[in-house]
């Protein structure tokens, strides 16, 4: 019965075709306005033209933090505040983090910079070939040493080609899944601006997550239901107070603590864009109320957008990708595609948050949306005369800031 249920969960990530229109975001302007941010990402499903087994991988979540960097001086995965790693031998501004079920002595590996993590150091107009992939793979293994210090579970070595090193075999298990993701997949991310003072707690937490495995106190074991890639990302952000922690390895109760990649992107987009910011609503939301009291900050804010990193188009290696399934809960998980359209609530939401030229995908629309949202919150607070001075001051500051950011963006776009 358990095996059948696990197979059912895997089927939740079955795919549908999708042709997207990518909304461009001026990253230079964005990072000037929001120098620190995280991205909670889900990836599409890919199929390799030359390897039928590649299609067995179901959905996946990956994580990017702008402001955290890989410490390239270490011979194992380790991160630090980018401001403290200015002499890194590979310069980058942020780090991609991913969980691979073959890993034995780490939960996550760190991939320095967006160009490596998403694009695999391949330019948009380059033709992606097996030879080019091999060169980029060799660079990642031999020059950057991204897979040093990592041990692999024995069962994942069974299919290692004769003559291939364990390190290269493991790197290939990561390729197009945990780094160089756009080789075969599109990536859909809920991007959340964060405060500068959240970077160091994230660094400490992440290194502590890997520590017991690197110290060989125990082995890491990935679990589809009880401790997967999405749980890791969610609980990392729970550590800095953005969301409530999800339970892992909770036995029968785990069915009520499932973490599904596409649905996590939906949930974080709801949190950062959809949720009301009226004073009374904020007070009733324990997680947001707590972080507001501690940080004078909430994650429902301007600059929270959905960023899409599309699959590499000029591609000799991978077929066109397909969008992974979104899950509906009744209360148990069911794939949207087997349900009548009127019951596909989460699927409709996912399609709406990745649609172009909306407050989710357009920075200009997002700033306009939040300017109105802050004004309404202030007007209601003044009318009801029941908001704290801290709340009024915070919303007023956000309103002035979003006006400045909006004007800066309009000036650049002229």
- 231-248 pLDDT, tens digit per residue, is 999 999 999 999 999 999
pLDDT at residue 53, as a whole number: 55
Q: Supply 316's token pair.
A: 């000799």
Distance CA(326)–CA(263), nearest Å, equals 6
pLDDT beyond 50 at 253: yes
Which range among 52-66, 79-93, 291-305 shows the weakest confidence by mean pLDDT?
Answer: 52-66
Which range among 34-38, 63-67, 174-178, 276-280 shows the weakest confidence by mean pLDDT?
Answer: 174-178
Other CB atoms within 10 A of residue 13 CB: 20
pLDDT at residue 405, as a whole number: 96
Q: Answer whether the bond into residue 219 is a cis peptide, omega within 30°.
A: no
Distance CA(381)–CA(392), nearest Å, equals 8
Q: What are the two backbone dihedrals, phi and then psi, of residue 410, each rounded to the nearest 5 degrees?
A: -65, -40
pLDDT beyond 60 at 23: no
408: CB partners within 8 A, 6+ apart = 29, 32, 33
Query: For the chain, how many helices (H) and strands (E)?
Result: 13, 12
CB 360 within 8 A of CB 353: yes
Distance CA(91)–CA(113), nearest Å, equals 8
**DSSP bridge partners of 227:** 223
Mean pLDDT of 255-265: 89
3-class DSSP state for residue 301?
coil
Reported pTM: 0.92
Q: What are the two backbone dihedrals, phi and then psi, of residue 394, each rounded to the nearest 5 degrees?
A: -65, -50
pLDDT at residue 54, as a whole number: 53
Which of 288, 189, 282, 284 shows the shortest CA–CA distance to 240? Answer: 288
Distance CA(205)–CA(191), nearest Å, equals 20
Q: Supply 255's token pair.
A: 């069915």
Q: What one-character-per-residue DSSP string does 244-276 give?
A: PPPP-S-GGGGGGS---HHHHHHHHHIIIIIS-
Q: Where are the beta strands (DSSP E) in 103-225?
A: 109-112, 187-193
Q: Please, what is the average pLDDT of the chain?
A: 91
CB 235 within 8 A of CB 245: yes
CB 134 within 8 A of CB 140: no
Distance CA(395)–CA(401), nearest Å, equals 10
Q: pLDDT tens-digit profile of 267-290?
A: 999 999 999 999 999 999 999 999
Tabulate helix, strand, coil % of the chain (nearest 5).
45, 15, 40
Mean pLDDT of 184-211: 97
Which of 356, 169, 154, 391 shows the shortest CA–CA distance to 282? Answer: 391
pLDDT at residue 18, as a whole number: 36
pLDDT at residue 12, as a whole number: 45
Query: Which is it for strands 323-324 and 327-329: parallel, antiparallel or unpaired?
Result: unpaired
Q: pLDDT tens-digit profile of 213-231?
A: 999 999 999 998 899 999 9
Mean pLDDT of 376-402: 96
Q: What are the two backbone dihedrals, phi and then psi, of residue 278, each rounded to the nearest 5 degrees?
A: -60, 150
Mean pLDDT of 317-344: 88
Q: pLDDT tens-digit profile of 142-171?
A: 999 999 999 999 999 999 999 999 999 999
More confident residue, 293 or 336: 293
pLDDT at residue 20, as a whole number: 36
More confident residue, 337 or 319: 319
Give the HSE-up count for residue 167: Cα atoms under 13 Å, Cβ half-sphere.
Answer: 14
What stretches of 188-341 show up as alpha helix (H) in DSSP?
A: 199-214, 229-239, 261-269, 279-284, 286-295
Distance CA(130)–CA(392), nearest Å, equals 57
CB 206 within 8 A of CB 141: no
pLDDT band at 57 (very low <50, low <70, confident <90, very high): low
The residue with tokens 């915070």 is 394
3-class DSSP state for residue 156?
helix
83: CB partners within 8 A, 6+ apart = none
Q: pLDDT tens-digit profile of 87-119?
A: 888 999 999 999 999 999 999 999 999 999 999
């Amino acid at each position: 019965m358990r095996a059948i249920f696990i197979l059912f969960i895997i089927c939740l990530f079955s795919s549908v075709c999708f042709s997207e229109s990518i909304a461009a975001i001026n990253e230079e302007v964005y990072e000037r306005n929001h120098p620190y941010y995280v991205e909670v990402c889900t990836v599409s499903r890919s199929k390799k033209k030359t390897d039928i087994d590649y299609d067995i991988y179901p959905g996946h979540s990956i994580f990017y933090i702008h402001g955290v960097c890989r410490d390239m001086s270490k011979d194992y995965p380790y991160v630090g505040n980018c401001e403290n790693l200015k002499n890194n031998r590979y310069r980058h501004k942020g780090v991609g983090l991913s969980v691979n079920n073959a890993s034995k002595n780490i939960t996550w590996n760190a991939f320095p910079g967006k160009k490596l993590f998403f694009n695999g150091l391949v330019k948009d107009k380059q033709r992606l070939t097996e030879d080019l992939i091999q060169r980029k793979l060799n660079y990642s293994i031999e020059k950057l040493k991204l897979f040093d210090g990592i041990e692999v579970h024995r069962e994942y070595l069974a299919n290692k080609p004769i003559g291939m090193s364990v390190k290269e075999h493991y790197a290939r298990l990561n390729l197009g899944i945990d780094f160089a993701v756009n080789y075969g997949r599109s990536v859909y991310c809920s991007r959340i601006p964060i405060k500068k003072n959240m970077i160091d707690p994230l660094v400490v937490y992440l290194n502590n997550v890997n520590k017991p495995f690197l110290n060989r106190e125990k082995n890491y074991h990935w679990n589809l239901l009880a401790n997967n890639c999405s749980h890791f990302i969610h609980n990392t952000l729970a550590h800095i107070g953005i969301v409530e922690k999800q339970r892992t390895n909770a036995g029968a109760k785990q069915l009520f603590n499932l973490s599904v990649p596409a649905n996590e992107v939906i949930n974080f987009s709801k949190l950062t864009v959809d949720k009301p910011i009226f004073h009374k609503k904020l007070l009733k939301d324990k997680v947001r109320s707590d972080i507001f009291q501690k940080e004078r900050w909430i994650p429902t804010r301007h600059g929270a957008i959905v960023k899409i990193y599309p699959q590499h188009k000029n591609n000799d290696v991978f077929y066109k990708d397909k969008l992974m399934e979104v899950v509906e809960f009744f209360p148990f998980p069911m794939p949207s595609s087997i349900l009548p359209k009127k019951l596909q609530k989460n699927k409709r939401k996912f399609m709406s948050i990745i649609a172009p030229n909306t407050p989710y995908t357009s920075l200009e629309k997002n700033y306009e949306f939040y300017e109105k949202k802050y004004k309404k919150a202030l007007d209601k607070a003044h009318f009801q005369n029941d908001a704290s001075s801290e709340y009024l001051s915070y919303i007023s500051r956000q309103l002035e800031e979003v006006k400045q950011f909006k004007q800066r963006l309009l000036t650049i776009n002229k």
